[in-house]
Amino acid sequence: MTDVLEARPGSPAPQVDADSEVIARARRPGALRRFRRRPVALAALAVLALLVVAAALGGRVWRYHYADITPDLSVSPSWSHPMGTDGVGHDMLARVLRGTQRSLLVGIVVAVVSTAFGAAVGAIAGYCRGLVDAVLMRFTDMVLTVPGIAILAVLAGWGGAKGNWLAISLVVAALSWMGIARVVRGVVLVLREQQFVEAARAVGAGPGRIVASHILPHAAGPIIVKATFSVGAAILAESGLSYLGLGISPPDTSLGLLIAIGEPAASTRPWLFYVPGLMIALIVLSVNLVGDALRDAFDPTDEGAIHARAARSRRLSERAQRTSAKSA
C-alpha cells in the first residue's frame, strides 16, 4: 500500500531520467518549516505521540494486565472497565493498549528494517551497475509481482515464527523494501557521476563511505516519506495476518486478533469489535497524514501545497474585494 498512497500520475516511480528532479526535491531547504505550517499534520503527529506514550507506559500504569482475568464477564464500558470486558473477563483497555503497542512495534520495526534493506539493495545496485544491478533489480521485480499474501501466509505460519511479533515484522519487512530500493538506486545512479563523488574518491574514500555519507543524504526526503507510509501499511498487513490466525497469536494479543475475536459479538457486545478497529484506523490515519505532509514538505511543487497556496491567495483577494466594497 505504500506505493499506492504515494502514487501520483505526475511523479511516476523515479527512474534514471527523472532522477535529477528527485535530487533537487530532496535537498530543497525549509522542509521542516513547511511541515510545521500544516495544522492537520501537527495534530496527527500529536495523536501519534500520545499513542506511543500510551502504548509504552499504559500497560504499566493501568491497573489490569492484558492477560489478567477479572471476575467481570462481558460487562459494557464503565468506570472500572472503560472499554468493557470480553467473555473471559479480560479488561479491554489493557488488551487494546497491548494491541496498540504490538501494532506500533510492528510498524516501526518493518519501517526500519525494510528501509535499511531497501536502501542497501538500491545503493549496491546503483553503485556497482552492470551485472550486479541487473540481478538485484530482476530480483526486486520478482518480489514485486509475487502475490505477497501467499509468502506472508507461508512464512508467518512457519513453526517457530508463529505468534512472535518480531518474526511477523521481519516477514512483512521482507515484502516491503522494493519501493525504497528503486528510489535509492535511481538517486545513486545519477549522483555517482557527480564531481563531489569523484572528489571524495580522489581523497581515498571507499565505496561504502561514498554511498553512506556522500550520496544517501541526498535521498533523505523520499526515503523518509516512504518509510513513514510503510509504517501504516505494515500495521494493516499485520492486523490482516492476525485476523486470519497467521499473525500474532494468544496468549499475546494484537489489534487484528482482537477484531477477529470480537467479530462474532459485533452486534451483541459492540465494544469488543469497535474499539480495536477504531484504534487501527486512528493509528494508520495519523501515520498517513504525517506522511502526506512530509511529502508535501519535501516537495512543495506537489498538489497539496499548491492547493493550500491557491486557497490562501483566493482568501486574500476575497478579503481585498470585501474591504474595497466596504470603502466604496
Q: How many residues does the chain have?
A: 328
Among 94, 155, 181, 261, binds another protein (CB under 8 A): 155
Binding to another protein by CB under 8 A, coded x per residue (else -) over 267-306, reads x-----x---x--xxx-xx--xx-------------x---
Give the separation between CA 62 and CA 82, rounded to whole angstroms.
11
Residues in 8-67 that interact with another protein by CB under 8 A: 8-10, 12
Instruction: State how far the Cα of 219 lies from the Cα of 208, in Å rounded to an integer.
Output: 16
SS3 204: coil
> Binding residue for another protein (CB under 8 A) from 118, 126, 222, 256?
256
Does 259 contact another protein by CB under 8 A? Answer: yes
Tell me: does residue 85 bind another protein (CB under 8 A). Answer: no
28 burial via Cβ count (<10 Å: 0-12, 13-18, 19+) = middle
- Considering only CA atoms, give the Rg of the chain: 24
Residue with cell 501499511: 233
The residue type of 37 is R
Amino acid at 251: P
Q: Judged by CB under 8 A, does residue 153 bind another protein?
A: yes
Size of the site for another protein (CB under 8 A): 49
Closer to another protein at the Cβ: 7 or 53?
7
CB 102 within 8 A of CB 248: yes
Q: Which is nearer to another protein, 42 or 220 (CB)?
A: 42
Among residues 73, 142, 199, 316, the one that binds another protein under rule CB under 8 A: 142
Q: Which of 47, 52, 266, 308 binds another protein (CB under 8 A)?
A: 266
Helix (H, G, I), strand (E, B) or coil at 62: coil
**To the nearest whole angstrom, how small is the minimum distance from the Cβ of residue 69 to another protein?**
25
Indicate whether 68 belongs to the interface with another protein (CB under 8 A). Answer: no
H helix and E strand count, the chain: 15, 0
Among 245, 249, 252, 300, binds another protein (CB under 8 A): 245
Q: Is 199 in the site for another protein (CB under 8 A)?
A: no
Distance CA 271, CA 269 (A): 6
| 100 lies in the site for another protein, by CB under 8 A | no
Q: How far is CA 323 from CA 140, 165, 310, 314, in A?
A: 59, 61, 20, 14
Q: Choose which of 71, 130, 159, 250 interacts with another protein (CB under 8 A).
A: 159
110 binds another protein (CB under 8 A): no
Q: Which of 111, 236, 294, 305 binds another protein (CB under 8 A)?
A: 236
Burial of 143 (0-12, 13-18, 19+ CB in 10 A): middle
CB closer to another protein, 112 vs 285: 285
CB 70 within 8 A of CB 64: yes
Q: Is 7 in the site for another protein (CB under 8 A)?
A: yes
ω into 251 cis (within 30 of 0) = yes
Q: Which is nearer to another protein, 188 or 287 (CB)?
A: 287
**For residue 311, which amino acid is it?**
A
Beta carbon nearer to another protein, 54 or 285? 285
Distance CA 14, CA 36 (A): 27
| Chain residues that interact with another protein, rule: CB under 8 A | 1, 4-5, 7-10, 12, 141-142, 145-151, 153-155, 157-159, 232, 236, 239-240, 243-246, 256, 259-260, 263, 266-267, 273, 277, 280-282, 284-285, 288-289, 303, 307, 311
